[in-house]
Chains A and B, each alone.
Chain A
């Protein structure tokens, strides 16, 4: 799936479904389970219908309001690229520390939870 047509075209994927939604919504809008299911269903159908490599097919869903004039919707909220784990909350950090002992080196991460797959 993609919401960035030009990037996907440059990568040249075998097949892609294009959803023209703002970044951070590649598979739908929040709190709309029926629409999300339809989006994924239509995307998966490309596995059966796409007959040529490099195909990008627009999905027929509308964000519902203009968003392309809003710069924050285009570039997101780019922040500093820190090289330590960045948790959604302190509670998450504590949960990971409780399980792994440390979050910095990740030496104790088990296969499902850390860099060592």
Chain B
């Protein structure tokens, strides 16, 4: 599946492996989860669900402390009624041009608001959650980042979460 010229998905696992090898680095050890993952049923119809937006990609609001580019496991809580022009993007690993022009390309807050307005979903949580991603320590993701996100989701009464990684 290393198809970068045809129509199939780009194999970023293989692309990263090849890049690391070219640079003389040890191979990056990607997460491979093989255990079956439970498929939790919707607790209520989608049109009644309270949806949480969780995005990596380094989005922050003006006035907040920006993320660092090195294993930053912190989380920013961004009010879902925020003005879009107060959102910023900082990241070390993707082209930020379009995200800075229109944050909805990695942080789809306005589309979600419209889906509340047209009744597709019930509501949004009071805040969206953002983080940096690109955390090379899987241990720190599990021990630090995920508990922060879980606590925030519980406190906001989220029914479902839309994860938007970059």
- Using a CB–CB cutoff of 8 Å, the interface residues on chain A facing chain B are 1-2, 4-7, 10-15, 18, 20, 22-31, 33, 36-37, 39-41, 43-45, 47-48, 50-54, 68-69, 72-89, 91-93, 95-96, 98-100, 103, 106, 109, 111-117
When the two chains form their complex, are residues A30 and B63 in contact, meaning their CB atoms are under 8 A apart? Answer: no
Complex interface: chain B residues within 8 A of A40 (CB): 108, 111-112, 115, 162
When the two chains form their complex, are residues B93 and A78 in contact, meaning their CB atoms are under 8 A apart? Answer: yes
- Using a CB–CB cutoff of 8 Å, the interface residues on chain B facing chain A are 1, 3-6, 9-15, 19, 30-40, 42, 46, 49, 51, 57-58, 60, 62-77, 88-90, 92-102, 104-108, 110-112, 114-115, 120-121, 127, 134, 148, 151-152, 160, 162-166
CA of A92 to CA of B148, assembled, Å: 25
When the two chains form their complex, are residues B65 and A24 in contact, meaning their CB atoms are under 8 A apart? Answer: no
When the two chains form their complex, are residues A68 and B32 in contact, meaning their CB atoms are under 8 A apart? Answer: no
Task: List 5 A-B pairs, minimum CB-CB distance, nearest first.
Answer: A115-B74, A30-B102, A5-B9, A76-B94, A27-B108
